[in-house]
Homo-oligomer: A and B are copies of this chain.
Amino acid sequence: MKGKIFIIEDEASIVQLIQHNLEKEGFVVSSSLNGNEGLKELKKFEPNLLLLDWMLPDLSGIDICKNIRRDINFKSLPIIMLTAKGEEEDKIKGLESGVDDYVTKPFSFNELSARIKAVLRRSDPKVVANELIFEDLKLDRIEKRVFRSDKEIQLGPTEFRLLEFFLTNPKRVYSRDQILETVWPNNVNVESRTIDVHIRRLRQSINIEGKKELIRTVRAAGYSLI
Complex contacts, A13 vs chain B, CB 8 Å: 101, 115
Contact A173 B114 (CB under 8 A): no
Contact A114 B110 (CB under 8 A): no
A142 to B171: give the CA distance in the assembly, Å. Answer: 8
Looking at A30-38, A69-77, A215-223, the stretch in contact with chain B turns out to be: A215-223
State how many angstroms separate the Cβ of A143 from the closest Cβ of chain B.
Answer: 5
Interface code A3-38, partner B: CB below 8 Å = 1, 0 otherwise?
000000000010011001100100000000000000
Contact A111 B157 (CB under 8 A): no
A177 to B24: give the CA distance in the assembly, Å. Answer: 10
Nearest opposing residue in chain B for A178, CB measure: B24
Complex contacts, A156 vs chain B, CB 8 Å: 219
Which residues of A, 192-226, contact B by the 8 Å Cβ criterion? 218-221, 224
A143 to B171: give the CA distance in the assembly, Å. Answer: 6
Complex contacts, A224 vs chain B, CB 8 Å: 143-144
A184 sits at the interface (CB 8 A):
no
Contact A144 B114 (CB under 8 A): no
Contact B17 A111 (CB under 8 A): yes
Residues of A whose CB lies within 8 Å of any CB of B are 13, 16-17, 20-21, 24, 101, 106-111, 114-115, 118, 142-144, 156-157, 171-173, 177, 218-221, 224
